[in-house]
Amino acid sequence: MQKDVMIQMNKNFEGAACQEGGVEYWLARDLQTLLDYTEWRNFLLVIDKAKMACQNASHRNFSKQ
C-alpha cells in the first residue's frame, strides 16, 4: 500500500474518533463505513468476533449487548 494512502486512512480513522471523559472510542456505524462494509449485517459479524476475542483475552471493559 502506498504511504500517502496509509496516511489518509489513518487521518480518516483518527478523525472519526469520539472522546468522552478522557476515553477515546469509535462508533460502530462510523467504523463500518471506514472499513468499507456496505451492509450492517456483514459488519455485525466482525463486531461479534471482536467481542469474542475480548472475552477470550479476559478484557473487562467491553459491553455485552
Q: What is the pTM of this model?
A: 0.68
| Three-point CA angle 20, 26, 27, nearest 5° | 105
Query: Over 60: is that where the pLDDT of 64 sits?
Result: no
Name the region of 21 (left: φ>0; alpha: ψ -120 to 50; beta: rest).
Answer: left
- Across the chain, mean pLDDT equals 88
Choose among 52, 31, 55: nearest CA to 43. Answer: 31
Element (H, E) at 35: none
Q: What whole-number distance in Å separates Cα of residue 41 and Cα of residue 44?
A: 5
How much is the pLDDT for 57?
87
